[in-house]
Amino acid sequence: MEKNEKNEKHEQFLKKYSGIMDTHNRIPLDLYERYNVKRGLRNPDGTGVLVGLTEIGDVHGYIMEEGDKVPVKGVLRYRGIDVKDLTKGFQKEKRFGFEETIFLLLFGYLPSIEELSNFKERIGEYRELPDQFTEDMILKAPSNNIMNKLARSVLAAYSFDNDAEDTSVWNMLRQSVELIAQLPTMAAYAYQAKAHYYMGESLFIHKPDPTLSTAENLLQMIRPNKAYKAIEAEILDLSLVLHAEHGGGNNSAFSTHVVSSSGTDTYSAIATAIGSLKGPLHGGANIQVARMMDNIKEHVKDWNSEKEIADYISKILMKDAFDKKGLIYGMGHAVYTLSDPRAEVLKEKARELAETSDRMEEYFLYEKVERLTPGIFQKLKNTNKPLCANVDFFSGFVYSILNIPEDLYTPIFAIARIPGWCAHRVEEMVSGGRIIRPAYKSVSPRLAYTSLENRD
């Protein structure tokens, strides 16, 4: 059979049966209500179904009074410590905080000077990838999507571990520290490989520096001349701290709990979390925000006209503009109602950066979209549900001012979040004890078997 004929028959097959597949996988929405099924593990009021306990992260965005959900200002705590206090402490003492945050998440307390120094040394020493890993696992098989390459690289690291299946706490800690240290290197090399093989740019492979912070090290590895400014490293470090953990219920952390409860290995668990984070409704939202804002900039002629901006926001929400999905990316959150503390901290830094980078007009456009969207959403959707900017709304803007390529926006999220994933994995392995297995009710009609010759 000729190749063109083969392709045409395959296309006809896909066209016919994709429609059939779509029809046979559409469950009527009224059935969810009839059987009291919590879609997305959400209660009717939008609160999450309680499925577990954790000591790692606390995401607080509302209180319950007499059965009603009451919005409050958002608070995020890492091991009981308010993340705003954490970041203020790092900034006041003028030092990088991500490595200390990793220690806090893994071990449950803030380290002493000696402990932190020793921990930074361990992280630095583990940054280099195993012999031939870069050549065989990354450069010989480049990917157009860095997140997919990260997941594949983490799975490939299994093959270089002689104790990959050992789930003792000692061994999971070793694996966690190694993966936390190596993920930035994997991301930097995966980006360089994509830039070279898919975009025709020169290939630059810089060795990780064990003496630098994670933020400094990442910046020097992704840039051809290894150059970066102190303010760039400082703000990237802040972003890493803000993204490091977000409770056990966020999609990627919950995925980590689910697969870890089966007793699988660390590499499989972390690769699963990366796959979850890649989604545009989770970590991939920061790229969608950047693309949405580019679309708004293109179609809104007067950035000072709130009416013109509001009209275009309405078009997006009504599925008449941008990607026609009816979403204002970066606005709204499953838990936060009045505010996302991470977004508040990052917004402040975004303004500082914009002031020094001649980007204030663009910053004010972001601010207007943030301010106008809740009211427009409530009017169009006929709801009084509060809506606030989440951390994704300003993160892409900050990264663009830092001249970080868009391809690395979500991988940076993964680099930041892997300490939280590792902490949740250990917590599940130590305290879980049972495989996570929720129920699904079958609503399929009962059918009788018919012999092959009697089928239409």
Summarize pLDDT for 295-341 with one digit per residue, the tens: 999 999 999 999 999 999 999 999 999 999 999 999 999 999 999 99
Same structural domain for residues 257 and 290? no
Residue 324 lies in a domain: yes
Per the structure, how many domains does the chain have? 2
Would you call 333 a catalytic residue per the annotation?
yes
All residue ranges of the chain with pLDDT < 70 are: 1
Domain at 412, CATH number: 1.10.580.10
Would you call 456 a catalytic residue per the annotation?
no
Q: One of 58, 237, 392, 407 is an active-site residue; which one?
A: 392
Same structural domain for residues 309 and 201? no
Q: One of 282, 340, 407, 424 is an active-site residue; which one?
A: 282
Same structural domain for residues 251 and 396? no
Cα dist from 220 to 126, 208, 212, whole Å: 17, 8, 10
pLDDT in tens, 240-298: 999 999 999 999 999 999 999 999 999 999 999 999 999 999 998 999 999 999 999 99
pLDDT at residue 40, rounded to an integer? 93
Residue 379 lies in a domain: yes
Would you call 282 a catalytic residue per the annotation?
yes
Residue 395 lies in a domain: yes
- Residue range(s) defining the domain that contains residue 237: 75-279+407-431
Same structural domain for residues 378 and 414? no
End-of-domain residue from the set 385, 401, 417: 401
pLDDT at residue 1, rounded to an integer? 60
Same structural domain for residues 154 and 268? yes
Domain at 366, CATH number: 1.10.230.10
Q: One of 243, 246, 257, 333 is an active-site residue; which one?
A: 333
Residue 12 lies in a domain: no
